Amino acid sequence: MRNALIKKKEVMQGSIAVAEAVKSARPGVIAAYPITPQTYIIEHLATLIANGELKSRYVRADSEFSAASIVYGSVAAGERSYTASSSQGLLLMTEVIFNMAGTRLPVVITGVNRSISPPINIQNDHQDTMVLRDSGIIQLYVENIQEAVDTHIQIFKIAEDKEVLLPAMVCMDGFVISHTYEPVTIWKDEAVQEFLPPFSPVYKTDPQNPLTYGSLTDDDKVTEFKYMTNEALVKSKKKIIAVAREFQEIFGNHYGDLLQEYRTEDAEIILVAMGTVISTIKVAVDALRKNGKKVGVIKVRSYRPFPDEELRTALSKCRLAVVVDKSYSCSSGGILGSEIKACLYNQRGPSIINYIAGIGGREIFPETIKDMVVKSEKLAESGKIPDGSVFFDLNKQLLNNQLL
């Protein structure tokens, strides 16, 4: 049954596989501006259009701000629309992304995670996509290439649902997913099209029937409009779960509803993280389990909407949670860690230790994770849980040698 849905199964580069998935969702308009590590995705889509394999309008924009504005317009005109970016490019799109969310336009964006400059660095961390967290955009983080492929197909359906209507982003780690090769299954276009019906917008603007998006509104209604966007994001949880399960039924793959738990049933210590580092943590968890440590891991798949209730339930039975953050809010700490602490405050939950690591592509090895677990246990035993977040892989020697 499932074999009948497979177009091809081969070793592919992450970016090419993602472009094939986007192609099968057949967006009417794609606009983009190149930035490493997003480039191969939009290059491959341009090739598919040039070859006539994808009937879509491709616009080479003069900046990420333009690219985002073009797909803003095309989705308002009723076309399924797509763009992708990274790092500074996502920052430049930010103003438009707030507008997409506020005026409820379901553009799909791939955020290929890359560190933010300065210092200029093309490697991976989560700072770029985390900056968008307050906009109202849906953000799903993925762990490997197949999950990136399948999540792209799912996310169009989630974003365009009439009860959701929000921009949505697949956050995939730059290089670790975009530039590596893995065996990947690409689904037949017909199978994807059956799963994902054409976009049917609620509002559609054209020269004969012009509409105003985000009209001037005074303080007597602004709170209500903002509340409606917030509610749509909260309610999109249900849709994300339903679409993940429907996808599983048809295609067989499932990556968790909002969270995915691994060996947490009897875990005393649970690590929490997002993206590809989850695979590294799973390897470390298996090794720690062999030594008799009851450790598990929770992957936060849906970061926006934030799975607060789900995390409260999933973390209720362990005694210690170790949150690994690849981003931080200056002077406040790890972002995922701070939000998990906030959602567990006033609950009878575990102690929480928050580590910031892997910034600018600094490798997080299974040994790094084991080290985190051992150090966290010691801190918990001696009652010295740090109040704030800790930069785990900081090179103190380098700091001591800094020049003013």
* DSSP-H helix ranges across 325-394: 335-344, 366-381
> Which of 215, 291, 382, 402 touches other proteins (CB under 8 A)?
215
- Residue 216 found at the interface with other proteins (CB under 8 A): yes
How distant is the alpha carbon of residue 13 from its chain centre?
A: 19
Of 2 and 226, which has the nearer Cβ to other proteins?
Answer: 226
- Shortest Cβ 344–other proteins spacing (Å): 33
> Which of 122, 225, 289, 329 touches other proteins (CB under 8 A)?
225
The DSSP call for residue 115 is: P
- Residue 78 found at the interface with other proteins (CB under 8 A): no
**Number of residues binding to other proteins, judged by CB under 8 A:** 22
- Residue 221 found at the interface with other proteins (CB under 8 A): yes
Q: Which span sits near other proteins by CB under 8 A: 183-191, 222-230, 299-307, 387-395?
A: 222-230
Residue identified by tokens 């037949």 is 188
* DSSP-H helix ranges across 51-86: 64-76
Give exposure, 310-320, as e/b (b: 16+ Cβ within 10 Å): bbeebbeebeb
**Measured between alpha carbons, how far is 49 from 55 in angstroms, rounded to an integer?**
6
- Residue 213 found at the interface with other proteins (CB under 8 A): yes
168 with 155: CB under 8 angstroms?
yes
Binding positions for other proteins, 127-166, rule CB under 8 A: 165
**Measured between alpha carbons, how far is 15 from 11 in angstroms, rounded to an integer?**
12
- Residue 385 found at the interface with other proteins (CB under 8 A): no
**Measured between alpha carbons, how far is 184 from 177 in angstroms, rounded to an integer?**
12
Q: Which span sits near other proteins by CB under 8 A: 26-34, 112-120, 199-207, 349-357?
A: 199-207
Of 219 and 265, which has the nearer Cβ to other proteins?
Answer: 219
Of 219 and 266, which has the nearer Cβ to other proteins?
Answer: 219
Q: Which span sits near other proteins by CB under 8 A: 12-20, 202-210, 255-263, 341-349?
A: 202-210
Three-state DSSP class for residue 14: helix
- The mark string for 226-265 relative to other proteins (x by CB under 8 A, - otherwise) is --xx--x---------------------------------
The DSSP call for residue 179 is: S
136 with 102: CB under 8 angstroms?
yes
> Which of 120, 203, 283, 386 touches other proteins (CB under 8 A)?
203
Instruction: Count other C-beta atoms under 10 Å from residue 293's C-beta.
Output: 16
Q: Return the beta strands (E) in 42-116 as ranges.
A: 57-60, 81-85, 108-113
Residue identified by tokens 């440590």 is 293
Q: Which span sits near other proteins by CB under 8 A: 170-178, 217-225, 244-252, 290-298?
A: 217-225
137 with 68: CB under 8 angstroms?
no
Q: Which residues does 132 contact at the CB level (< 8 Å), separation at least 6?
A: 90, 94, 97, 111, 139, 169
- The mark string for 93-112 relative to other proteins (x by CB under 8 A, - otherwise) is ---------xxxx-------
- Residue 365 found at the interface with other proteins (CB under 8 A): no
- Residue 210 found at the interface with other proteins (CB under 8 A): yes
Of 103 and 389, which has the nearer Cβ to other proteins?
Answer: 103
Three-state DSSP class for residue 152: helix
- Residue 224 found at the interface with other proteins (CB under 8 A): yes
Of 13 and 74, which has the nearer Cβ to other proteins?
Answer: 74
Q: Which residues bind other proteins (CB under 8 A)?
A: 102-105, 165, 202-203, 205, 210-217, 221, 224-225, 228-229, 232
